Amino acid sequence: MDKSGVTRLSRREFLKAVGAGVVAASIGSVASSFAAGEGTRGAGNERSGENVYYVEFEIDAERDRERYEYYKSLGLLIERDGKICVANPLLPDRCMTYVKPYEEDRFELLPPGADEDFYAKCVRCGLCYYACLYEGYYAIRLVGVEGGLERVGTPIVPDVMHYPCTLCMKCTIVCPTGALREVKPKEVRMGVAMIDPDLCWAWNSGECYSCAKACPFGTEVFEFTFNEWGVHTRVRPEKCTGCGQCVSACPVNGSAIHVLPREEYERRAKNFKNTGMSYEEYLELILRTERENPEKATFRAMIVNSDYIINIRGIVSEKVVETLETENEES
């Protein structure tokens, strides 16, 4: 920002307007489909025995000729193993990748208050399930025989996209054995939310606080970095309850924020999307590029990622929250 503060704002408005215009003009109204598969416990294509939770930005040169020629002219295509993908402008030897839609990257979480002794303490009475059902939340389900004999009848929270936990804590109150301990809502640790910065609208466009607005604890869990590219949102993993209320609030189809069991979160954070970088290192690479190489940052956010988010994955504009106000601020 210069002393007057005008240059930074003008560049930001320019990036948002021109970036969107370039994508729209160059790509046109190419009809792209994004088929969501059935969600399972940690679903994903198997590659080298690992759960692959991301998809590459692939292009079919025959069916999507206009997009192919456009990215070819920018020098952003990688042809490998008979496939063509758009390169990550920050890691040009790697394909740009995005976390899969939630339905293909869905995990079963344990209800609030569960600890390492949960399965030893749970008597499969189902009271937590009925308490949740009675409240009208439907977050808790009971494991069927397909989940294995050891887990049959135990409670899970399997779908925070459609049925997030509201942290009402009624399940912990009715539990007769302490399998679900009575803890304060802020102390719940069902999982950890992780944002894909390449798919998140706020990391690629400007203002969007949808996830933080939906979170029961808002800025206690979410933190923000502001620059001319907008609001860059992060989750404080040590504060996240894993309730999942942020997941359905995300305006990007399939959600750019997923709640993961803590061990899965840590696995992904060590080598984020197989980049060889930790999650924090990858976020810092984006921020450093925005500071030091605006042209490359523009290609990443306003051309490649905006094209994917808008034209391939899809975004619900009505769900974009551009201000973050608390009840105290409003009063």
In a structure prediction context, what are the per-residue pLDDT tens digits for the chain, which is 331 residues long? 444 333 333 334 434 444 444 344 334 333 332 233 333 344 433 333 356 899 999 999 999 999 999 999 999 999 988 899 999 999 999 999 999 999 999 999 999 999 999 999 999 999 999 999 999 999 999 999 988 989 999 999 999 999 999 999 999 999 999 999 999 999 999 999 999 999 999 999 878 999 999 999 999 999 999 988 889 999 999 999 999 999 999 999 999 999 999 999 999 999 999 999 999 999 999 999 999 999 999 999 999 999 999 999 999 999 999 988 754 333 3
Rounded distance between C-alpha atoms, residue 157 and residue 324, angstroms: 28
Rounded distance between C-alpha atoms, residue 74 and residue 312, angstroms: 19
Helix, strand or coil, per DSSP, at residue 233? strand
How many other CB atoms sit within 10 Å of the CB of residue 45? 13
121 Cβ contact partners less than 8 Å away, ≥ 6 residues apart: 177, 178, 179
- Measured over the CA atoms of residue 208, residue 214, residue 219 and residue 220, the dihedral's sign is negative
Q: Domains of the chain, with CATH numbers?
A: 6-104+191-330 (no CATH), 118-187 (3.30.70)
* pTM for this entry: 0.84
